[in-house]
Structure 1
Amino acid sequence: MALPDGVELVVFDMAGTTVDDLVDGEPLVIAAFRAALKAHDGTETSFDQANAVRGYEKKDALRRLLASVRGESASTTDSEIDTLFDIFKKELDKLTSRMNCEIKGTSEIFAELRRRGVKICVGSGFPEHVVKTIVENLGWSVDAAFSSVTLGKGRPDPIMITTAMEKFGVTDPKRVVKIGDTQVDIEEGRNAGVFCVSVLTGTQSREKLEAAKPDCIIQSVADLLDKRTDTEVKPSDRSEVG
């Protein structure tokens, strides 16, 4: 099974993990990144460039994206990133209202875990109003929903996980699971010391996810309670991750 024994809390990523975030065939955040840079100064960015920064705190992601387009040596000011972030949020708002489809099986997994007494949280690097809109659009029943923007730190900082643990009085990280579709989700989970599960429903490849050494990889959240995991990483491999 993709969950350890005695789990008390599961923290799910949203876009690409529990939310089917495709807008006209392109993931929401990638579409918003590309639209924001084009609106900012006409910069054209590729899917691969935008996908490479997916999962990071959004200002950090935008800074990394600009560097990949302009070159690492090009200077970028905090003021420009703030301006770009404001544009990004506007582009995101235009697209969010269309988010009304979950990854198949998500609600059923939520319901079964809650039936077993497990606390369910969702978290995202989207602004809080976007997180709330998506949860409402999907009609989810979860114990908490977090925005790293509101909490003040973005992934790979584990603040969403540690906040969830504090909220529900879970003190043992071995009883906590983080589930996501990006390398940064794995880094976030590692930084919190929790069990990490990767899903293949996002845009990052199996090879990229395996490089970050999650505890296991499954096809989607629908397979979370299946006794068969798609890929299991040996403890000896995981010990190499700092």
Structure 2
Amino acid sequence: MAGTTIQDKKEVETCFAQACKKTNLEVTDERILALQGYSKIHVFKLLWGERLGDSHPELKEKANFSYDVFTEILENHYHQSPILPTDGCLETLSFLRENNIKIALTTGFYRKVTNIILGKLGWLDGLDKNHFNTSGTSIIDLSITSDEVEKGRPEPLMIQKAMKIFNITDPKEVINIGDTPSDLQSGVRAGCRLSLGLTNGTHTQEQLKIYRNDGLLSSLNELKAVIQPLI
């Protein structure tokens, strides 16, 4: 979501860095960026493990505390700040719907903050309690968060959950697109027909090109040209 379908001007990185500072977790901006797209509780466990050692008795407590501080900062940010779709997002979603292509949003966010974002955009309208478009009226068909699967990105479980809900058995019927290395990696691990990167989100072309991908797009405006020959 952040950086792919909703604009992210380093808000998530900033909120994460603030939480690290408040909880005395020393981490560089480069390290935070490299872990974008991952489940945030997983990131805090990873970073505290790097600092304390994976067997440290206070690891879980410190990771949970940092995560709790982060969620408070992040939720306040999205409650108070405008939320806008990325360049070409609404046009792309309309094109996909017109061609009966299912739209699933996956995210490293947890459900509460995801619903804050979707609600402010009006994208919750028409989704049922399982965040599935049973009404046929929603702008998206499905929303899946990292806390709704056993492991978030770079594992492919969110993609595979979407496939199961849509009754898709062949991953070659799926195109994955995102703006982080973990997005690309999850699409590759899922065996998607294409795993595409966006370079106008949290990562640049130089940062993404070193990861296996099936194409790097400058914005969602370019996705239509990729999909049309496949329809």
TM value normalised by structure 2: 0.82
Letter in 2 for 1:203: T
**Cα gap change, 1:214/1:72 in structure 2, threshold over 3 Å: closer, same or farther?**
farther
SS of the residue corresponding to residue 103 of structure 2 reads strand
Aligned to 1:20: 7
Indicate which of 77, 82, 87 corresponds to 2:64: 82
Indicate which of 187, 190, 193 corresponds to 2:191: 193
SS of the residue corresponding to residue 145 of structure 1 reads strand
**Ranges in structure 2 where 5+ consecutive residues have no aligned partner:** 124-138
SS of the residue corresponding to residue 16 of structure 1 reads coil
Letter in 1 for 2:177: I
User: In structure 2, how many angstroms separate the alpha carbons of the residues matched to 1:38 and 1:179?
Assistant: 32
Letter in 2 for 1:157: E
Letter in 2 for 1:102: P
Indicate which of 120, 136, 139 corresponds to 1:137: 120
**Contact persistence 1:16–1:202 (CA under 8 A):** yes
Instruction: Please report how far the alpha carbon of residue 100 of structure 1 lies from its aligned counterpart in structure 2 after TM superposition.
Output: 1.4
Q: Which range moved further: 91-100 or 45-54? A: 45-54
User: In structure 1, how many angstroms separate the alpha carbons of the residues matched to 2:121 and 2:221?
Assistant: 16
Is 1:108 the counterpart of 2:107 in the alignment?
no
Letter in 2 for 1:154: G
User: In structure 2, how many angstroms separate the alpha carbons of the residues matched to 1:63 and 1:28?
Assistant: 21
Aligned to 1:203: 202
Q: Which range moved further: 72-81 or 84-93? A: 72-81
**Contact persistence 1:33–1:62 (CA under 8 A):** no
Q: Where is the strand percentage greater, Structure 1 or Structure 2? A: 1
Per-residue displacement from partner, 1:79-121 (whole Å, max 9, x unpaired)?
A: 2111211111111111112241110210110011111010001
Is 1:155 the counterpart of 2:150 in the alignment?
no
Is 1:96 the counterpart of 2:95 in the alignment?
no
Q: Which range moved further: 122-131 or 43-52? A: 43-52
Aligned to 2:16: 33
Q: How many residues align?
A: 209
Letter in 1 for 2:198: V
Instruction: Please report how far the alpha carbon of residue 35 of structure 1 lies from its aligned counterpart in structure 2 after TM superposition.
Output: 1.1
**Ranges in structure 1 where 5+ consecutive residues have no aligned partner:** 1-13, 229-242
User: In structure 2, how many angstroms separate the alpha carbons of the residues matched to 1:177 and 1:99?
Assistant: 29
**Contact persistence 2:8–2:202 (CA under 8 A):** no
Per-residue displacement from partner, 1:131-181 (whole Å, max 9, x unpaired)?
A: 122112122310011111122321111111111111111111111011100
- TM-align CA RMSD: 2.2
Instruction: Please report how far the alpha carbon of residue 127 of structure 1 lies from its aligned counterpart in structure 2 after TM superposition.
Output: 1.2
User: In structure 2, how many angstroms separate the alpha carbons of the residues matched to 1:122 and 1:73?
Assistant: 32
Instruction: Please report how far the alpha carbon of residue 52 of structure 1 lies from its aligned counterpart in structure 2 after TM superposition.
Output: 1.8
Indicate which of 167, 170, 173 corresponds to 1:169: 167
**Cα gap change, 1:166/1:88 in structure 2, threshold over 3 Å: closer, same or farther?**
same
User: In structure 1, how many angstroms separate the alpha carbons of the residues matched to 2:53 and 2:225?
Assistant: 44
User: In structure 2, how many angstroms separate the alpha carbons of the residues matched to 1:101 and 1:220?
Assistant: 15
Aligned to 2:31: 49
- Percent identical across equivalent pairs? 31
TM value normalised by structure 1: 0.79
Instruction: Please report how far the alpha carbon of residue 31 of structure 1 lies from its aligned counterpart in structure 2 after TM superposition.
Output: 1.3
Aligned to 1:212: 211
**Cα gap change, 1:160/1:99 in structure 2, threshold over 3 Å: closer, same or farther?**
farther
Instruction: Please report how far the alpha carbon of residue 78 of structure 1 lies from its aligned counterpart in structure 2 after TM superposition.
Output: 1.7
